[in-house]
Each structure stands twice: as structure tokens, then as C-alpha cells.
Amino acid sequence: MRLFIRAPYNGMPMYRTRLAAVVLWAFSQFLLSLPTSAQSLDALLGDVSRNVKEFQETLPDFVCNERITSTESADGRVIKERVVESVFTGVQRSNVENRFRFAFTESREVLAIDGKAAPKGTAFPKLPYRFAVGFSSLLITTFAPENLRYHNYSIADTYKSATGTAVLVQFATKDDQQALRTMIQGTRLFAKDVGAVWIDLASSKVLRLQRQALNLPPGFSRSMTTADYGPVTIGEQQFWMPIKIKAEVTERNSRATVTYIAEYSDCRKFTAEIKLLP
């Protein structure tokens, strides 16, 4: 004699119940990984902006090894190239009018040009293209608290990286803004830019920032700058700083493209020696 025990029927087969549970769990994990509202975007921008402000106000004077590669090319062929190795010095100086704002100044001591050692005091050579004051300007222009009002931001996507979850934010300067300005090949213009930034969701640190200038001098058709960031220890404190900066400009008529790549390594705290003369 066989005994059959019928389980109570709840209206859904067991395999469907399990499938529904798996789908619900996967969907909940997806939702948890995404900034899902304007409020989440505002919170993310606030966190990033606070990190940028902390970077501005706490970064000590420092030096890094810098390697600059500047090229001019046309139709995929390099016409000119110059490589400069130097000691890069960054100094924060408070503004007398407002001590809560800081002006970043940079200088370089040239060590070698095109692989040949340079005598001490050698002037920085002429390059096919030089992108000045790019070390902190991209980050501050895009995310300093006082500059958020001049941009429109939107969350475009999220993805898994080797270190966690990152979010892609797209931005553009507002059409009527007249506070942000840019310098392109010696010409000063109102900033009219679009760009994208990849942000680590756990720390709200910027991984990569890209800005493309739309307001250009007549002789240029394209200007794009990209900065990659990473952790750098100076003294006993860690800072999130540029590791590589790439700026590229395309001329309208000649089809020539000039490129500037700066790479930074071995950053440390700057100390000035003071000698008393008799």
C-alpha cells in the first residue's frame, strides 16, 4: 500500500515560486547598485564636491616626477614630438581676499629633454602643444562647490569595475553661464563644455574626468581633455590626484592634431631648504 501526501496548494507551482524569488532578489540587487533618483544624483554630486573641496584645502605643497610627451601629427603620421622629464612642484596659496579659497600654482625643474640630461636651470622648451595648469583645474572647474551651479548633470550608466561599482555622470555647462572661462592656445573664452566623469560609488572619488570644449577659436575644430585619477600618499596621508592628463586639439584647416600627455609618479611632500648667509 502506497501512501501519498499532498502538499497544500498555494496557487503557484514550486518551481515558479523559486524562479520568482530569484528574479526578485536579482532585481533588488540591481536597484541597490544604482542611484535611482534626482535626490541620489544630488547626494552623489554633494559627496564628490566635498571631496574636491577637501582636496583643495588639505593638499600640502608637493613635488612629483613628471613626464610630458607632446606631439603634432597629421593623417596618422607624427610630424613633431618632444619628451620632457621634470620635477613638478605644486603649491597651494591662500587668497588674501578670501582665506577659504586657494590658488594652485605649478612650476617645473627640467631634468631631461628628448632623453638627454638638461643642465640645472634649463628653461622649459617649446612644445608642439602645451596644456598649462591642468593638474587641478579640470576637477575644480567641474565639481568645486561654487561651480556646480554652472553645470547640468545626469546619471548615464553604472558598471562593475575591478574595485567595485562605478557610475558614469554626463554634464554640460549651462548656456547662459558667464562665470567659467577657458584658455585655448592663448585665447580666453567663456567655457561651453560637455563631458563625462566616472565616479567610484563607494568613495565618491573621481576615477576619470573628460571635458570637451565647444566654444573654440576659429582655427580649431576639436578640443578634448581627459584626466585619470588615483590614490597618492604624501607624507602619511592619502590624496586622490591626477596620474595622467591627456589634452588633444585638432586644427580646422590643416587637419593637424596636437597632443599633450603628462604622467605623474613618485609624489612626495615639498620641503624648502633655508640657508642663512653670513
Instruction: Give the SS3 label for residue 2.
Output: coil
Report whether 175 contacts 188 (CB < 8 A): no
- From first CA to last CA, the distance across the chain in angstroms is 115
What are the strands of the beta sheet with 77-94, ordered from one edge?
Answer: 116-117, 102-113, 77-94, 62-74, 256-269, 237-251, 220-234, 205-213, 193-200, 164-173, 151-161
Asked if the model's pLDDT at residue 264 lies above 90, the reply is: yes
Amino acid of residue 272: A
pLDDT at 137 over 90: no
Nearest to 158 by CA among 41, 12, 10, 276: 41
Percent of the chain with pLDDT over 90: 52
- pTM for the full model? 0.78
> The domain 37-269: what is its CATH number?
2.50.20
Q: Does the pLDDT value for residue 275 go beyond 80?
A: no
- Residue 245 to residue 69: CA distance in whole angstroms: 11
Quickly count: other Cβ atoms within 10 Å of residue 172's Cβ: 16
pLDDT average, residue stretch 38-52: 89
The pLDDT value given to residue 13: 55
Give me 250's grid cell.
585638432
The pLDDT of residue 159 is 82
Which of 32-36, 214-218, 265-269 bottoms out in mean pLDDT, i.e. has the lowest?
A: 32-36
The pLDDT of 83-90, averaged and rounded, is: 95
| Better pLDDT: 161 or 172 | 172
**What does the domain layout of the chain look like in residue ranges?**
37-269
Q: Which residue has the higher pLDDT, 231 or 39?
A: 231
Residue 3's pLDDT is 36
